[in-house]
Amino acid sequence: MTEDERRAIEADCQRLINLYVNLNDAQDWEAVANLYTEDARFARPSKPDEFVEGRAAILEGFTSRPPRAQRHVIANTVVDVVDSDNARAFSVIVLYMGDAAASGELPKMNAKSPLVGSFTDKLVRTTEGWRFAERVGGLDFQP
C-alpha cells in the first residue's frame, strides 16, 4: 500500500465518523444505521458492555429512543489502517443534550450535559464504501 492509498483510507474513514455524528444529530436514523454493516455490533457510551448486534437492531435502538435535542462534537480522531479493506479508529466525543424544544426555540441543556467519552471503531470497506463493523463507546467522566 502506498502512502497516498493509506492517506485516502484515513480520509474516507474520518469522513465516515464525521458523517455519523452529523446524521445522528439530525436524527436521521435510517441513514445512521446504513453506516453500519449488516452484522455490525454497537455499544453506546453509557453502556459499553451491552452490544446491539445487526443493522436492523441498531436502527430499532435509535428509533425507540424518545426525541431529544442533541449536538455531538467529535475530536482527536486517529485512524489506523490495517490493510486496504480494514481500519481501526479512536475518537473523543462530547455530547450536549436537552429536551426537545418547541419550534423556533432553543432547547434547555440537560443537567447531565455535557457527556465526555470516546468511540473505538472497527471499520471495513464494503461495496457501499467504508462502514462500521463495530463501534464501542465509553464515558470518561460520570455525568
What pLDDT is attached to residue 105?
Answer: 84
Indicate which CATH number applies to the domain containing 52.
Answer: 3.10.450.50
Q: Distance (Å, rounded) from C-alpha 62 to C-alpha 83?
A: 31
Identify the band that residue 76 occupies on the pLDDT scale cut at 50, 70 and 90.
very high
Of the candidates 4, 5, 25, 12, the residue with the CA atom closest to the CA atom of residue 121: 12
Give the number of domains in the chain. 1
- The domain of 42 spans 3-139
* Span 103-141, pLDDT tens digits: 888 888 888 899 999 999 999 999 999 999 999 999 999
Q: What pLDDT shows up at residue 81?
A: 98
- The pLDDT tens digits for 14-67 are 999 999 999 999 999 999 999 999 999 999 998 999 999 999 999 999 999 888
Long-range contacts of 99-105 (CB under 8 A, 24+ apart): 99/68, 99/69, 100/67, 100/68, 100/69, 101/69
Predicted local distance difference test score (pLDDT) of residue 86: 98
